[in-house]
Amino acid sequence: MIEITNYCAISGSRISVNGQTDFVQDGDVLFTDFIKAAYRNYKVDYPKFFKMDNLSKLAFIAAEVLLKDTGFLTRYQPEDIGMLFQNGSSSLDSDLKHAASIKDKTNYFPSPAVFVYTLPNIMIGELCIRHKIKGENTLFISPKFDAGFLYDIIDNSFTTGKIQSCLGGWIECGNDNYHAFLFLAEKKIDKGLGKNVIFTVENLTTLYHQGIN
């Protein structure tokens, strides 16, 4: 049996871990300010964070919060951890930045530091570097979180022995709208990890909606 051993959500200036609010900022807070405040709150020391685009920053903080104190990364070989993500608007936020840099032919300044983030899977790459994860990884683009499809893909990867554990979820970062929902899926182990949730489509759907602020 596969279980969701931990999950976290970021939306509307609030971060929750396993359903409990962990960090929140009141009022009308810009995403860029909020995510920096979260970085400081969790006392992360990773200067590369400041070079990332908004999508990667969101995924990065969600993964930091999710993995903290879980021992997840020590339980598996790097190549046995899968990363299977979904997202709605790909890298549109960075796409618009790159497009603006080439709009005016007299002021033409495309930059590799922006362009690289016009590939939405870069966020997966950032997490792999940070957490030394080398297993299977794919980004699916979907109009909305598709729990049924993500379940099928992850369940099949476990069944066929392609992965021993999984970091999965939904990372969306548009102009004013951002939402991260990440979870850890693991095979049930003898030593209980706490109040785990069975990995099902229904549970994925419930936990996803719980995190929307």
202: contact with another protein by CB under 8 A: no
Q: How far is the CB of 84 from another protein (least distance, A)?
A: 10
98: contact with another protein by CB under 8 A: yes
Q: Which stretch binds another protein (CB under 8 A): 7-15, 38-46, 61-69, 114-122?
A: 114-122
* CB of 68 or CB of 97, closer to another protein: 97
59: contact with another protein by CB under 8 A: no
42: contact with another protein by CB under 8 A: no
Q: Which of 126, 182, 197, 207 contacts another protein by CB under 8 A? A: 126
173: contact with another protein by CB under 8 A: no
What is the DSSP pairing of strand 81-87 with strand 137-141? parallel
Q: Which of 27, 71, 161, 194 contacts another protein by CB under 8 A? A: 161
Contacts with another protein by CB under 8 A lie at: 78-79, 83, 88-90, 92, 95-96, 98-99, 101-103, 105, 108, 110-112, 115-116, 118-122, 124-126, 128-129, 131-143, 146, 149, 152-153, 156-157, 159-162
